[in-house]
A and B are shown apart, each in its own frame.
Chain A
């Protein structure tokens, strides 16, 4: 393989891996903050026990997200130095803002939250976890601003003299329509992930504690957590659908090739159908593509809000791209990958949201559930939104290939910035070096994934503590040299 393919694989591996942990952190931090808020406001110990329980899981997860996040910032320069040279003027700004505005808040206040239980007044301590929750979400905004600029470069011009993209309007970069849709979509997906995580673990425990003869525990502690998780899933499920629809319409305007690839639509069609099953060969050629199960008009509707609208095929778009950007490049993304990742994202995401509705029905009017199958289902549901997010990103990023910065249709002045992925790779980094780093990261990441998983399972299986003392200085006062309530 060439350095380009290796660098792409490495980016794919490290980014998909990083984004296993990130959505859980983004969604779980606010949910833990909410639990702690309930405790501070009601004084009900149930919420303190839940805060501590899910708080530990949050911390185990947070660590690996932070650790793998450093790689994300460094590898643009390491593997994609020519990309970095080209776009740094625009792309670097949101990254620097993310660090200054979000990462500092997140890391500092998380430290205060972890160690501050017996050091800070209750309300200030609560404010710390809210600061963390706010900052994790803010960081998503900035990184998505950077990513959205790659999908739809705005607020920048191409300077022929320097051969670099130059920012001319930071406001446009930070209010990119692609960003305004991608941000709520990503955040609601993160909340779906965290909601499923909370509902799944608490649901499994609800069944388990009833079967252990501890129905009071199930009613008192786990049921409220399931409700919190399930309501979060439902609300975010609706949000994901609405924002996803918004994104599809933007994609139709901004990245028609991605939209048509998502449908593996080779020839343009009026009233393009949404296919549920398509077969094709892996050569990425249109010849072998056969749509087997289709729903008429739906893809056209997704793209433009009109069941009969025209959706261009990838062949036609290839020709158009050749006219605009030159021949000799395959401007089509990998059709099989975009087609299937698009469907898996939608299917898995919609599946978990639908599950929430069913669970809410089962638990109507104060009911608890004690069926063994429910406990198993609760656990099986947990990975679903993680996978949906992963496929969503695989779709978004594979779907913009062969571009690293996708040209806006109708290039005119301000829209004249674009770059092929192949041009972005570092020229001085040999394939051997990329292999070395890819192997090193993959092995280390695999090891850490195993440990992370076992730690999460170990702590989830331990359940909430029977009691949780209130150690806040409001309650006990500070001072003295008594043991810390929390220490590594």
Chain B
């Protein structure tokens, strides 16, 4: 296999890791006002992802860095082309990160309300915009002959892409609700389970519509397999959430995300940035780094990725217990006023 193909697959793997892991982080953040009516409830929700959200976000940095190293032209075209969308995502991620860490530092209701707003907005914006971005990669964007993006921000907001945004938002919401049902106990678990059951149906409909549209308009035959896998996973998800089989439900929503990534990257292949005028598409071969760089990076990735999976897996094992409101300690933050 060509090394550039290997790296196309590896980048897909990194995005899979990101979307599966930070997907439920986003879901938890998006559901904060829905499932967390009282402050203690919200603290339970936030603490289910407390030890892991930062590690999950690094999958994005790794995907970004790997794209830069392995496909500089892709990185350059996509990041400059999707400028305003990425700007919004960056602003959202920034406020989200500091809100996680700073929320509990001050014991004050208004302070916490602001932190909660930041968490909610910081989760919804990327939750929708990643879908918009990937849908555009499937659909193709305005590139000129030099592979430069010549469209505008509003060109990215076409109906197909907006449906993509709705799809990721719903998948993350469901994934988050399923995760919460798996990681909490008591009343929150029950409410998260019930919500997941309802959300999974909406996800099946919207994601199904998106996948079929993508298949019929932009994709190739073999990705029907991914679409079928996604459909089966989402059907299992609907059933599992109904029966409150939480582990199975989480597995199903994770598989659905994996299948979605396969569909997206399968549709893009052999391009990394399909153009609306196919002659201008940026192909995997054109975008890739030299064989030397790819060889070096392959070694680094092959050695380090399993290690990362190992210790991240260990983290989930250490914090495997379900959380309840009883386990949430008193606020440890300092009062707002000065000493």
B84, A433: Cβ atoms closer than 8 Å: yes
- Bound-state CA distance A440–B104 (Å) is 26
B98, A92: Cβ atoms closer than 8 Å: no
Query: In chain A, what residue has the closest Cβ to B104?
Result: A488
- Bound-state CA distance A97–B289 (Å) is 15
Is the C-beta of A63 less than 8 angstroms from some C-beta in chain B?
yes
B90-125: which residues lie under 8 A (CB-CB) from chain A? 90-91, 93-95, 97-98, 100-106
Binding-face segment, A100-108, A177-185, A300-308, A357-365: A100-108
Is the C-beta of B221 less than 8 angstroms from some C-beta in chain A?
no
Is the C-beta of A376 less than 8 angstroms from some C-beta in chain B?
no
Is the C-beta of B76 less than 8 angstroms from some C-beta in chain A?
yes
A92-B75, A93-B293, A100-B305 in contact; A483/B319 too (CB < 8 A)?
Answer: no
A81-B77, A108-B311, A487-B50 in contact; A92/B289 too (CB < 8 A)?
Answer: yes
B70, A92: Cβ atoms closer than 8 Å: yes
Among candidates B69, B102, B301, B311, residue contacting A63 with C-beta atoms closer than 8 Å: B102
A54-108: which residues lie under 8 A (CB-CB) from chain B? 56, 59-60, 62-64, 66-71, 73-74, 76-79, 81-82, 84-85, 87-93, 95-101, 103-105, 107-108
A78-B86, A99-B65 in contact; A84/B329 too (CB < 8 A)?
Answer: no
Is the C-beta of B209 less than 8 angstroms from some C-beta in chain A?
no
Is the C-beta of B154 less than 8 angstroms from some C-beta in chain A?
no
Query: In chain A, what residue has the closest Cβ to B73?
Result: A85
A387 to chain B, nearest CB (A): 23
B62, A444: Cβ atoms closer than 8 Å: no
A461, B98: Cβ atoms closer than 8 Å: no
B148, A428: Cβ atoms closer than 8 Å: yes
Is the C-beta of A482 less than 8 angstroms from some C-beta in chain B?
yes
- Bound-state CA distance A161–B318 (Å) is 53
Q: How many A-B residue pairs have CB under 8 A?
A: 259
B86, A59: Cβ atoms closer than 8 Å: no
Among candidates B43, B76, B95, residue contacting A84 with C-beta atoms closer than 8 Å: B76
A428, B149: Cβ atoms closer than 8 Å: yes
B interface, over-half SS:
helix
Among candidates B68, B95, B103, B105, residue contacting A459 with C-beta atoms closer than 8 Å: B105
B267-320: which residues lie under 8 A (CB-CB) from chain A? 289-290, 292-293, 296-297, 300-301, 304-305, 308, 311-312, 315, 318-319
Is the C-beta of B81 less than 8 angstroms from some C-beta in chain A?
yes
Is the C-beta of B54 less than 8 angstroms from some C-beta in chain A?
yes
A interface, over-half SS:
helix
- Bound-state CA distance A82–B79 (Å) is 11
A455, B102: Cβ atoms closer than 8 Å: yes
On chain B, the residues within 8 Å of A114 by CB distance are 50-51
Against B, the Cβ 8 Å flags (1 = close, 0 = not) of A115-131 are: 11001100000000000
B76, A170: Cβ atoms closer than 8 Å: no
Of listed A60, A73, A79, A166, residue having the most chain B CB within 10 A: A73
B64, A74: Cβ atoms closer than 8 Å: yes
Among candidates A88, A448, A484, A487, residue contacting B289 with C-beta atoms closer than 8 Å: A88
- Bound-state CA distance A104–B70 (Å) is 19
Among candidates A90, A427, A441, A485, residue contacting B293 with C-beta atoms closer than 8 Å: A90
A77-B68, A100-B304 in contact; A66/B97 too (CB < 8 A)?
Answer: yes
A104-B55, A111-B55 in contact; A95/B68 too (CB < 8 A)?
Answer: yes
On chain A, the residues within 8 Å of B78 by CB distance are 77
On chain A, the residues within 8 Å of B94 by CB distance are 67-68, 70-71, 444, 448
A170 to chain B, nearest CB (A): 5
A488, B83: Cβ atoms closer than 8 Å: no
- Bound-state CA distance A485–B332 (Å) is 10
Among candidates A63, A95, A108, residue contacting B101 with C-beta atoms closer than 8 Å: A63
Is the C-beta of B80 less than 8 angstroms from some C-beta in chain A?
yes
B50, A488: Cβ atoms closer than 8 Å: yes
Query: Interface size class for chain A?
Result: 35 or more
- Bound-state CA distance A9–B3 (Å) is 38
B90, A70: Cβ atoms closer than 8 Å: yes
On chain A, the residues within 8 Å of B106 by CB distance are 455, 458
On chain A, the residues within 8 Å of B65 by CB distance are 73, 92, 95-100
On chain A, the residues within 8 Å of B53 by CB distance are 111
Of listed B90, B149, B324, residue having the most chain A CB within 10 A: B90
A439 to chain B, nearest CB (A): 11
Is the C-beta of B52 less than 8 angstroms from some C-beta in chain A?
yes
A78, B334: Cβ atoms closer than 8 Å: no
On chain A, the residues within 8 Å of B208 by CB distance are none
B27 to chain A, nearest CB (A): 17
Query: In chain B, what residue has the closest Cβ to A425?
Result: B80
- Bound-state CA distance A98–B296 (Å) is 14
On chain A, the residues within 8 Å of B70 by CB distance are 92, 96
On chain B, the residues within 8 Å of A104 by CB distance are 55, 58, 62, 304, 308, 311-312
- Bound-state CA distance A96–B104 (Å) is 32
B319, A96: Cβ atoms closer than 8 Å: no
B88 to chain A, nearest CB (A): 9
- Bound-state CA distance A89–B296 (Å) is 11
Query: In chain B, what residue has the closest Cβ to A111?
Result: B51
Is the C-beta of A429 less than 8 angstroms from some C-beta in chain B?
yes
Against A, the Cβ 8 Å flags (1 = close, 0 = not) of B42-71 are: 010011001111110110111011111111
B187 to chain A, nearest CB (A): 15
A63, B98: Cβ atoms closer than 8 Å: yes
Is the C-beta of A437 less than 8 angstroms from some C-beta in chain B?
yes
A92-B69, A444-B91, A488-B103 in contact; A107/B54 too (CB < 8 A)?
Answer: yes
B318, A120: Cβ atoms closer than 8 Å: yes
Is the C-beta of A276 less than 8 angstroms from some C-beta in chain B?
no
- Bound-state CA distance A116–B51 (Å) is 9
On chain A, the residues within 8 Å of B75 by CB distance are 76-77, 84, 88, 92
| Top 8 A-B pairs, shortest CB-CB distance | A88-B72, A77-B79, A92-B69, A63-B101, A92-B68, A81-B80, A96-B65, A81-B76
14 further contact pairs, Cβ within 8 A, besides A92-B65, A92-B289: A60-B101, A66-B97, A71-B90, A78-B79, A88-B73, A96-B297, A99-B61, A100-B300, A100-B304, A100-B305, A108-B311, A114-B50, A437-B83, A488-B103
- Chosen A-B contacts, 19 in total, with CB atoms closer than 8 Å, are A67-B97, A70-B94, A73-B64, A93-B69, A95-B65, A96-B300, A97-B300, A104-B312, A107-B58, A166-B289, A166-B290, A167-B292, A167-B293, A429-B80, A433-B84, A444-B91, A459-B105, A483-B326, A487-B332
The residues of B with any CB-CB pair to A shorter than 8 Å are 43, 46-47, 50-55, 57-58, 60-62, 64-73, 75-81, 83-84, 86-87, 90-91, 93-95, 97-98, 100-106, 148-150, 289-290, 292-293, 296-297, 300-301, 304-305, 308, 311-312, 315, 318-319, 324, 326-330, 332, 334, 338-339
